[in-house]
Amino acid sequence: MLSPKRVKHRKMQKGRMNGFAWRGSDVSFGDYALQATAPGWVTARQIEAARVALTRHIKRGGKVFIRIFPDKSVTKKPAETRMGTGKGAVEGWVAVVKAGRILYELDGVDAETAKAALRLASTKLGIPTRVIARADEVI
């Protein structure tokens, strides 16, 4: 699973996900892409599950580009713990995704395979997505 090698501060505040992903919202590397249509957190586990679904479906050949990275720590208090006594322990890592963000890109595969693979990958994520193609937009 993806996670940062080292961080300056282990625990983070929740933050907000207002607005759109004005950067990272264009198909830049491949021919087909999976784009988030609503904001949300994508966990490292989900990113890995979607990557595995993609690579297994396209078998060999083709390239997968992961355009998000889980660099935000998420903490959780143990069950049945009284409130207080500080913030919980780091439980995992998430990528903060705003609406419009490109999550994955595929290159070197035919349209049908790419779309089917990206649809499979989208089922592993907790946010609504859609499949887009570079050829859809000339300008």
Partner 1 sequence: MDTNLSVELRTGLGKGAARKIRASGQVPAVLYADGAAAVQLSVDPTRLLEIFRKSQNRNTVLQLAVGGETVSALVKDAQRHPVSRALLHVDFYKLSADKTVIVDVPVKTSGKSAGAALGGRIEILRRTVKARCAVDAIPEAFVLDVTPLEISGVIMASELPSSDKVKPVVDRDFKVVACLPKLKG
Query: Measured from the CB atom, is 54 or 99 closer to partner 1?
Result: 99
The residues facing 75 across adjacent strands are 90
Distance CA 83, CA 72 (A): 23
Shortest Cβ distance from residue 13 to partner 1 (Å)?
25
Query: Measured from the CB atom, is 5 or 22 closer to partner 1?
Result: 22
Query: Measured from the CB atom, is 28 or 123 closer to partner 1?
Result: 28
**Are the beta carbons of 95 and 70 closer than 8 angstroms?**
yes
Residues that bind partner 1 (CB under 8 A): 20-22, 25, 35, 37, 60-61, 99-101, 108, 137-139
Shortest Cβ distance from residue 67 to partner 1 (Å)?
13
DSSP code, position 99: B
Distance CA 74, CA 91 (A): 6
Distance CA 126, CA 22 (A): 21
Query: Measured from the CB atom, is 55 or 75 closer to partner 1?
Result: 55
Shortest Cβ distance from residue 105 to partner 1 (Å)?
13
